[in-house]
Amino acid sequence: NHDQDHTPSMIGTNLPPSGSNASARVPSDVVVKALVRWGLATLYWWIISQWFFGPGLFDRVFVLTGGSCSVDGHWSQYHCRRQGGNWSGGIDISGHMFLLTHAWLFLMEELSLFLNVPEAWTALQNRRSAKYAVWGVLALAGLWWWMLLMTSVYYHHLAEKLTGLFFGVLFWFGSYVTLYKIAPFPSMPDQAAVL
């Protein structure tokens, strides 16, 4: 079926293969898979930084490595600071390293079709809104790399930076490098469709 021969991406573009008269409509299963991948990435961030059956995983690591709040009874950085306390000691995992790495890897994987398949990049040039969206994401990615550099130079100790980087890479490795390559859902779009 020629209408199914589409090349979609997470940002809502759907480019027919070069020389094709295929419709530019994004198949609903592609949209659902993209939303599930986005939802899983967001859930991972939430569990790591916000809530893990109580305080977030980062707060738990901080306390388990000897960190504490100067105001007794607070297990989360948010509640400690809200009560006027200081969060000190322990390994304070770099949330900036984590979030910037996690978000950058997620977006680059979702844009991988345009970055790795020349025909997709060429077809993208004919769709103004999609082209601007991709360029916008690439500009954001460049800004994030600059922010990562500044974070790595000026903030946190080496162990805190490396653990933030580790948790940022962990989701990408577990999902895009392994699971999404073998699982039919929520797998990435087939890049061969554009060739």
Q: What is the pLDDT of residues 125-157, one digit of tens each?
A: 777 777 788 888 889 889 988 888 888 788 778
User: Which pLDDT belongs to residue 42?
Assistant: 93
- Whether the pLDDT of residue 58 is over 50: the answer is yes
User: Which pLDDT belongs to residue 72?
Assistant: 80
pLDDT in tens, 17-40: 444 444 455 567 777 888 889 999
Annotate 104-120 with b (16+ C-beta within 10 A) or e (fewer): bbbbebbbbbbeebebb
Active-site residue flag, 79? no
User: Which pLDDT belongs to residue 17?
Assistant: 45
The mean pLDDT of the chain is: 77
User: Which pLDDT belongs to residue 163?
Assistant: 92
- What's the rounded Cα separation, in Å, for the pair 27 and 5? 10
19: alpha, beta or left, given left = phi > 0 and alpha = psi -120 to 50?
left
- Encoding tokens for residue 162? 């490396």
| Catalytic residue, candidates 6, 74, 102, 156 | 156
14 vs 167, higher pLDDT: 167
- Whether the pLDDT of residue 68 is over 50: the answer is yes
Q: What is the mean predicted confidence (pLDDT) over 187-194? A: 55
Active-site residue flag, 96? yes
Count helices and strands (H / E) in the chain: 9, 4
Q: Which residue has the tokens 């009560």?
A: 83
User: Which pLDDT belongs to residue 189?
Assistant: 65
User: Which pLDDT belongs to residue 63?
Assistant: 86
pLDDT in tens, 74-104: 667 778 878 888 888 888 888 889 999 999 9
- Whether the pLDDT of residue 55 is over 90: the answer is no
| Catalytic residue, candidates 6, 74, 96, 102 | 96
Domain ranges of the chain: 2-52+92-194
